[in-house]
Structure 1
């Protein structure tokens, strides 16, 4: 009985953990398998079910997806096959920028855009894009007073051109310096969290494992196109580095009622942002999950009780 009951409780807890997010009591998450990518990356047909890649991208199924290698004039990309349609989401990416050269460049970009897999001059992707770009820039062109590597967000309207000459300073939404990100001895990650009309937050991990640094947060997030593709790209010029994607974990976020409050934060540019407010309202999805979990526990108890009664009968028989 004890074993069966514990098994039922473990199953319920596992199902619960699949949708729970602990850092905010009102926020739950469900993994988006269509936009999650982990080793070995490829299936038996040597292709990814949910992602396409092209250009100079190299896939090592036991290690990484290398968008650009430590060689001049490299250009590679990785893009989801289906659009990201979730209203609120969180995307966590483990990546690695490394190399042996004392002079290096240029960096890589994360994209949430209407266009996918189109090579170009903006970290390996097309210019005049429509959507959101997160740039991890390792080479300083002309931006006095800024420490590199520099991580910034840019919102594209399909007409605005990214100015590489000044590292996108005029097109920047928000950003921060990240000294020590390249060749870090600890895992390097970024986590982008978006609540429609509520907040956009970017966190980085590169100093200490499991310790996140706030890059920026704003309660006036950009409007992201309703149909966008998640992608990554990188390029090298005369200077080069290895730019690797290790894993991608995407989640659909939703709230279960109440509100959250956070202290005002400051971006890497010195701009102050107001705290993001949590959403309110129930969730039918969460209600359905709780009902399923309830019946799992009841079913487990019944199985345990049946096993116990059977065991008792056998014991008395002898």
Structure 2
């Protein structure tokens, strides 16, 4: 019957809709178990296979990893044991900054650095680091015109110093204000996506659940060292807060088109991008077109066969 052919057409159209997912539709991911951390955090021997922690860090296996508690002069860290060597990656972290005080500080940081577990004055980590630091700064020292909490990124070359007195203004290459990220009513998350030499993007979730706010995106990312450790640290001074890591989910990103990099706006010829897009779309169109042809042929044959059988029965009846 024609129902068979129509069903095949509908399935083909559904498949085409699933494939056509826009510019980033060809990006796939593989979970990086070595850099993923979830409850209960610790193994049977009360240590983590993939992460080390130290300083004032507290691990509650049913709740959180607290880098610093809501008490003065706290300093804690959490770092991966093995380096992150993926060319393209995405790290999504659920965290929580909270406390009962009206005055609070100082904040926490996410690291992708050559060093690991080095304690110091930069949100609990050593200064003059080499690699990338993302700072969630909750206390304003001297940044006129900037709303805090403030999230900023800094690339360290091993020689440049982070200046706490002006909240790193001189060494910031990207950032955004994130009012409401502390004591939020929903799970707060960050998502850092990196394509080597192509793009670096930071997204935040703190206003509405499952709604990401773009903090920054650059098509000229810093040259992050090829071998870096993923880590987190936090500190408190006279003012304090709880800085918790709830979960870490890391992924290795790759493309299905045979290229290890992602096309980014503003780079390359628009004609070449359109050519590649048309080439990819054309191959899928031809593939689905052949499926439709086969479905129509089968459906037509079935209808013809049914009509022939009916005619034969009528002729035998008389």
Please report the TM-score for the alignment, with normalisation by the length of structure 2.
0.75
- Corresponding residue number in structure 1 for 2:107: 107
Alpha-carbon distance in 2 for matches of 1:246, 1:97: 11
Alpha-carbon distance in 2 for matches of 1:262, 1:189: 24
1:164-211 deviation digits (Å, cap 9, x = unpaired): 000000000100000000000001000000000100000000000000
- Corresponding residue number in structure 1 for 2:153: 153
Q: What are structure 2's unaligned runs of at least 5 residues?
A: 1-20, 277-318
Alpha-carbon distance in 2 for matches of 1:97, 1:199: 28
- Corresponding residue number in structure 2 for 1:127: 127
Quote how far apart the aligned CAs of 1:260 are.
Answer: 7.1
- 1:31–1:250: 8 Å Cα contact kept in structure 2? yes
Tell me which protein shows more helix as a share of its residues. Answer: 2
**RMSD in angstroms over aligned alpha carbons?**
2.2
Q: What are structure 1's unaligned runs of at least 5 residues?
A: 1-20, 264-273, 281-318
Task: Give the 5 Å matches for 1:244-259.
Answer: 244-257=244-257
Q: Is 1:88 the equivalent of 2:85?
A: no
- Corresponding residue number in structure 1 for 2:185: 185
Task: Give the 5 Å matches for 1:1-318.
Answer: 24-257=24-257, 274=266
- Corresponding residue number in structure 1 for 2:14: none
1:83-136 deviation digits (Å, cap 9, x = unpaired): 000000000000000000000000000000000001000000000000000000
Alpha-carbon distance in 1 for matches of 2:23, 2:72: 42
Q: 1:184 to 1:275 in 2, by over 3 A?
A: farther
1:128-153 deviation digits (Å, cap 9, x = unpaired): 00000000000000000000000010
Alpha-carbon distance in 1 for matches of 2:246, 2:267: 31
Q: 1:81 to 1:23 in 2, by over 3 A?
A: farther
- 1:218–1:275: 8 Å Cα contact kept in structure 2? no
Alpha-carbon distance in 2 for matches of 1:104, 1:179: 14
Alpha-carbon distance in 1 for matches of 2:84, 2:154: 18
- 1:136–1:152: 8 Å Cα contact kept in structure 2? yes
Match of 1:34, SS state, is: helix
Quote how far apart the aligned CAs of 1:23 are.
Answer: 8.8
Alpha-carbon distance in 1 for matches of 2:64, 2:196: 31
Q: In the comparison of the two structures, how many residue pairs are matched?
A: 250
Q: 1:245 to 1:275 in 2, by over 3 A?
A: farther
1:229-286 deviation digits (Å, cap 9, x = unpaired): 00000000000000000000000000112897777xxxxxxxxxx58999x9xxxxxx
Quote how far apart the aligned CAs of 1:162 are.
Answer: 0.0
Q: 1:22 to 1:110 in 2, by over 3 A?
A: farther
- 1:108–1:137: 8 Å Cα contact kept in structure 2? yes
Alpha-carbon distance in 2 for matches of 1:75, 1:275: 42
- 2:112–2:229: 8 Å Cα contact kept in structure 1? yes
Alpha-carbon distance in 1 for matches of 2:127, 2:245: 22
